[in-house]
Amino acid sequence: MKKLTKQIVIDYHDFMVEKFGVRLIFRKDDIPPDVFDVFPSLNQFCADTFLDHYAITIPNPFGKTLIYLPWIAGSSTRVSLYDQVRRLAHECEHAVQIRHDGDTHFAASYLGNPALRANYEALAMHAELDIYFWYYGKPAAALFLSSMAKNLKAYRCGADDIAVTEKHLVAYNKIVARGSVSSEAGKAAIKWLDMRV
Ligand SMILES: [Zn+2]
């Protein structure tokens, strides 16, 4: 297992923000109203307690892609340092998806369609599995993959989407087990972390 420090995790957030051209936000109120105007279905993820527990990457046609985090970088009172590293890589992979697909296409697909949302999530989870292997030196176990897929229930995905996602993760994890890092965010993160951890 790798040894992360508070300062490394703070610096890692700075690096990922710069590398993926995103802006971090920590309060729902920091999401510009214009973004809600163009993507009203974003509201479904800002209701209840979703934002207390989950990070979310928000397409922003008016500026940098936004990443909302329910933790303060380097402060491990709510989320462990390792989980911060893993989960920020996941969100940065969403930023890559937004760059490839465009704000409006991503928003329509991700916010509007549970099956497409599950697919975006499964691809972002690649980065998490890459980080997992880097951190633990072994691929994630089947039970962990299953629990990752089941998390999508909180994202309003159905049982079918969750089952497909689990199969997807099992397949990707076989590639990870061979020591290959394929996600863009995972690659950047691991390259940076390897020089410091
Ligand atoms: Zn995600």
Q: Which residues of the chain have pLDDT under 50?
A: none
The domain tally of the chain equals: 1
Ligand 1 centroid vs 196 CA: distance in angstroms? 26
Residue 59 maps to a domain? yes
Burial (CB count within 10 angstroms: exposed 0-12, middle 13-18, buried 19+), residue 178: exposed
Q: How far is the CA of 195 from the centre of ligand 1 (A)?
A: 26
Rounded to the nearest angstrom, the distance between the alpha carbon of 90 and the centre of ligand 1 is 6
CA 1 to ligand 1 center in whole angstroms: 25
Whether residue 170 lies inside any domain: the answer is yes
Q: How far is the CA of 67 from the centre of ligand 1 (A)?
A: 10
Expressed in angstroms and rounded, the spacing between residue 8 Cα and the centre of ligand 1 is 23
Task: Report CA(121)–ligand 1 centroid distance (Å).
Answer: 5
Q: Give the pLDDT score at 48.
A: 77
Cβ-contact 95, 16 below 8 angstroms? no
Q: Which amino acid is at 176?
A: V
Q: Can you give the residue range of the structural domain that contains 144?
A: 6-194
For position 76, what pLDDT does the model report?
A: 87
Residue 166 three-state SS: helix
Type of residue numbered 71: W
Distance 91 CA to ligand 1 centre (A): 6
* Distance between Cα 125 and ligand 1 center (Å): 7
pTM of the model: 0.97
Interval between CA 54 and ligand 1 midpoint (Å): 9
Q: Is residue 1 part of a domain?
A: no
Q: Is residue 178 part of a domain?
A: yes
Lay out the sheet containing 22-25: strands in order across.
Answer: 22-25, 65-68, 56-58
The pLDDT value recorded for residue 60 is: 97
